Amino acid sequence: MMQDDPFPAAERILLEIDAVFRKDPKLKEFDIVPVTANHNKSPVLHVEHCLGLESWCVRHVYCYTYHRIMDARQLRSRREDPAMLARLLSGALLINPDVTTFWNMRRELLQAGRLDMQGELHFIAVLLSRKPKCTEAFAHRKWVVRRLLLAGADKDALLEEELQVSRYAADRYPNNYHAWSHRMWCLANLAPATSAILHKEWAASEAWVSSHVSDHSGMQYRQFLLDRLLELKHSVSEDIVDTGRKSIQQLLSHSQNEDNVDFVQSALIKSVGLIASELLLNTDLILRFAGHEALWCHRRYLLVSFKKILNCRTDMNGTGGCRYSSSICVTRSRCAEKLSEAVSSGHVNTENAPLERDQKLSSQELGALDRDLCHLQGAMMWHEAKLISGCQPDELHQQRLAKQHRKWLSHVLKLDVPAVA
């Protein structure tokens, strides 16, 4: 239990911290500096937009702020000066941001107009520099953003700021699930309906996961982006389509098919192309950075998505929200039969738009689509076999992960991956 520890200098320290936030709008970091002795000078350090608090005074300041805040909370008469209460809460949260009561009291001050909403976002950003995985801070940040939206704040400016903060937090702490979840929330609630931001994030996240190959939270964000791109009603950018087309052809060229495949139906280029390009990137990362389980887990997600696309072959609603069959191995006749049913009902469009009921694919087009799907399925199996065989025998952890992957392919996807010399 925390004992009462009067500290006369606490109020002065809190005033100095508050003054730093007021005079430096570019303040970006806060940390506790390991100094064990009091040298009769201010323990508050402010250098190059960075705020520090010497460690010798941390316990005393926190004890002081904690007891003052709890006293104010219990009185309920609101006799504590709001400005003073705000300083107490700032000091306490900078030291220990995991106390829900403190954040609730900050919300009360914000609702009463005693604190500025934009200033609160700045305070949280500085706090996250020291505690980048703080759940309470991200939850409070979402609350503030919602309030700003209700007040008519600029969505684009808010989105840009939130993306910067979440990226900074993710860089500061590995596997920062809370930062990446906040980023997903921002795209879902702040991003415009257009696909431009998704394309930008897709390109940026590729560079990020390529340099953080053990960070599965970052790869989960990439999976989120992939799902959103596949759900787009309108076309993705030409760059993504071209990359996807080249990736598909690269997969097919490595599958040792005797037939020369010159095209893939346009309905599949966006969906299969996106997944194929990500599979090739994932293959490159697995072979270059051996022994990282996060890469293999990400691959399994991609293969499940690939399987669903191949089995569905078409978007029943024009939105990416179709339902998939359970078997990966679809025969030529079943493929044509299922696609014919979809075309007859007027829900299939190779250009991602609903067909009129009097429009039907010809038997030649059905056969071409069926042929492409068979090639893609074979290419996927061949690619997995090449990857597993390409893992070096002297990399024991990589070999173990490859064996687990082969077992997963067999038991989950029901694929008997052939051995490749």
| pLDDT per position as a tens digit, 327-339 | 333 333 343 344 3
Please give the average per-residue pLDDT across 217-224, as a whole number.
Answer: 97
pLDDT score, position 361: 53
Rounded Cα distance between 3 and 67, Å, is 9
Q: Give me the residues paired with residue 54 across strands.
A: 33
SS3 51: strand
Please give the average per-residue pLDDT across 283-291, as a whole number.
Answer: 94
Please give the average per-residue pLDDT across 151-176, as a whole number.
Answer: 96
Rounded Cα distance between 322 and 319, Å, is 8
What is the percentage of the chain residues whose pLDDT exceeds 90? 59
SS3 158: helix
Q: Give me the residues paired with residue 50 across strands.
A: 29, 47
Q: Which two tokens stand for residue 53?
A: 């608090």
Is the confidence at residue 317, as pLDDT, over 70?
no
Q: Which of 270, 172, 182 is nearest to 220 (CA)?
A: 182
Residues with Cβ within 8 Å of residue 380, at least 6 apart in sequence = 251, 303, 306, 310
Hey, which bits of 35-187 come out as E strands?
44-47, 50-54
Rounded Cα distance between 251 and 224, Å, is 24
Rounded Cα distance between 16 and 238, Å, is 54
Question: Are the C-beta atoms of residues 268 and 372 closer than 8 Å to each other?
Answer: yes
pLDDT confidence bin for 381, thresholds 50/70/90: confident
Is the confidence at residue 67, as pLDDT, over 60?
yes
| Size of the chain, expressed as the number of residues it contains | 421
160 burial level (CB within 10 Å; 0-12, 13-18, 19+): middle
pLDDT score, position 292: 95
Residues with Cβ within 8 Å of residue 311, at least 6 apart in sequence = 324, 325, 327, 328, 330
- Least confident range from 163-177, 190-204, 228-242, 342-356: namely 342-356
- Look at 242 and 315; give whichever has higher pLDDT: 242
- Look at 7 and 280; give whichever has higher pLDDT: 280
292-to-87, 269, 392, 402 alpha-carbon distances in Å: 45, 30, 14, 11
pLDDT score, position 420: 63
pLDDT confidence bin for 314, thresholds 50/70/90: very low
Q: Give me the residues paired with residue 30 across strands.
A: 51
SS3 content of the chain, % helix, strand, coil (to 5): 65, 5, 35
Q: Which of 216, 392, 383 is nearest to 292 (CA)?
A: 216
Q: Give me the residue spans of the domains in the chain.
A: 10-111, 197-411
Is the confidence at residue 345, as pLDDT, over 50?
no
Q: Which two tokens stand for residue 199?
A: 């394309």
Please give the average per-residue pLDDT across 87-103, as a whole number.
Answer: 97
CA 125 and chain centroid, separation: 18
**Residue range 43-62, pLDDT digits in tens:** 999 999 999 999 999 999 99
